[in-house]
């Protein structure tokens, strides 16, 4: 017996694909590194934390939990991620010390702050295209951090120059100019008025955890609901994302975590 259209359990009444709830962080950041970053950043006792392109603000919330009395502001334009952040803050007793605001970070006047987090969100600070995107974002971060404070920048870099075939397998119109090398990235941070106190890069295991976690909930949903009205489009998008990683930027694109100190 099959379900008629619109009846309970029929494909068109089953909820659509879920958000990627398997992820703790929206990027290749493992628990071990997150704990170390939190401890180091909290050791400077920041009174104010500004999270650019915060998503649900997991790292910001951990820093606030480690620094009694500190307050935080997260900026993003994704309402669902912001709602998740507010719920996490309430669960952890932090709701009175953090705001999740649905607004652009471009030209923001929310700073300066003692600690500025920008994890994979440089594009939120400027409308510039590569290769000017990162230098202009670094200039904005320098404006937004207080003297004696810290910036934690999570930014992409090429592990090695990508081959033409690898670029073709990545995102639309991918180009070698989309990212600097690690050395170039650090030089750009110095040119923007920072000293790089720590230079770290995501490990292959962190990348695999992120890439698998990003698609896990959707893959499980697709396996259970192949006839759903949204399944074809979701399957095509998910397959395209997975192929871009496996055939394009895997072991080519890196993520650097730079702890930056503003020069006086």
3 state SS for 174-243 = CCHHHCCEHHHHHHHHHHCCEEEEEEEECCHHHHHHHHHHHHHHHHHHHHHCCCCCCHHHHHHHHHHHHH
The answer on 98 and 212 residing in a single domain is no
Is 180 among the domain residues? yes
Is 38 among the domain residues? yes
Is 7 among the domain residues? no
Question: In this predicted structure, what is the pLDDT of residue 3?
Answer: 41
The model's pLDDT over 52-89, given as tens digits with 9 standing for 90+, comes to 999 999 999 999 999 999 999 999 999 999 999 999 99
Is 151 among the domain residues? yes
Question: In this predicted structure, what is the pLDDT of residue 115?
Answer: 98
Alpha helices in 43-163 (DSSP H): 58-66, 79-91, 133-144
- Paired with 51 in beta bridges are 74, 117
The model's pLDDT over 158-215, given as tens digits with 9 standing for 90+, comes to 999 999 999 999 999 999 999 999 999 999 999 999 999 999 999 999 999 999 999 9
The answer on 237 and 170 residing in a single domain is no
Measured in Å, how far apart are the chain's first and last C-alpha atoms?
74
The answer on 258 and 133 residing in a single domain is yes
Residue 9 in this model has a pLDDT that exceeds 70: no
Is 15 among the domain residues? no
How far, in Å, are 28, 130, 136, 142, 246 from residue 167 at the CA level?
20, 15, 24, 31, 12
The answer on 139 and 75 residing in a single domain is yes
The answer on 60 and 148 residing in a single domain is yes
The answer on 121 and 176 residing in a single domain is yes
Expressed as residue numbers, the domain containing 67 is 31-203+252-262
How far, in Å, are 7, 17, 164 from residue 12 at the CA level?
8, 12, 42
The answer on 157 and 87 residing in a single domain is yes
Q: Which secondary structure element, helix H or strand E, spans residue 126, and what is its range?
A: none
The answer on 232 and 121 residing in a single domain is no
- Band (pLDDT 50/70/90 cuts) for residue 11 is low
- Band (pLDDT 50/70/90 cuts) for residue 14 is confident
Rounded mean pLDDT of 116-143?
A: 98
Residue 6 in this model has a pLDDT that exceeds 70: no
The answer on 231 and 196 residing in a single domain is no
Mean pLDDT of the chain: 94
Is 258 among the domain residues? yes
**Residue 171: how many other CB atoms lie within 10 Å:** 13
Number of domains in the chain: 2
**CATH number, domain at 175?**
3.40.50.150
The answer on 46 and 149 residing in a single domain is yes
The answer on 89 and 136 residing in a single domain is yes
Rounded mean pLDDT of 28-32?
A: 98
The answer on 257 and 160 residing in a single domain is yes
Is 21 among the domain residues? no
Is 72 among the domain residues? yes
Strand order in the sheet with 113-119: 98-102, 71-76, 48-52, 113-119, 145-158, 253-262, 194-201
């Amino acid at each position: 017996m099959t379900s008629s259209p619109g009846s309970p359990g029929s494909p068109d009444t089953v909820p659509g694909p879920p958000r990627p709830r398997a992820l703790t962080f929206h990027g290749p950041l493992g628990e071990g590194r997150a704990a170390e970053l939190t401890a180091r950043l909290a050791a400077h006792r920041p009174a104010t934390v500004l999270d650019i392109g915060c998503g649900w603000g997991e790292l910001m919330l951990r820093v606030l939990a480690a620094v009694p009395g500190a307050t935080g502001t997260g900026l993003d334009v994704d309402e669902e991620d912001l709602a998740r952040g507010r719920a996490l803050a309430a669960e952890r007793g932090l709701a009175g010390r953090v705001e999740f605001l649905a607004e652009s970070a471009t030209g923001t006047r929310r700073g300066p702050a003692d600690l500025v987090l920008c994890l994979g969100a440089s594009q939120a600070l400027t409308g510039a295209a590569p290769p000017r995107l990162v230098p202009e974002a670094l200039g904005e971060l320098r404006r937004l951090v207080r003297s004696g404070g810290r910036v934690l920048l999570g930014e992409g870099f090429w592990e090695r120059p990508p081959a033409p075939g690898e670029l073709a397998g990545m995102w639309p119109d991918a180009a070698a100019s989309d990212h600097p090398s690690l050395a170039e990235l650090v030089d750009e941070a110095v040119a923007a008025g920072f000293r790089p106190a720590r230079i770290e890069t995501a490990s292959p295991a962190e990348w695999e955890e992120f890439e698998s976690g990003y698609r896990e909930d959707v893959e499980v949903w697709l396996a259970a609901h192949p006839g759903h009205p949204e399944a074809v489009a979701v399957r095509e998008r998910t397959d395209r994302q997975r192929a871009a990683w496996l055939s394009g930027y895997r072991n080519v694109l890196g993520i650097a975590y730079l702890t930056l100190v503003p020069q006086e």
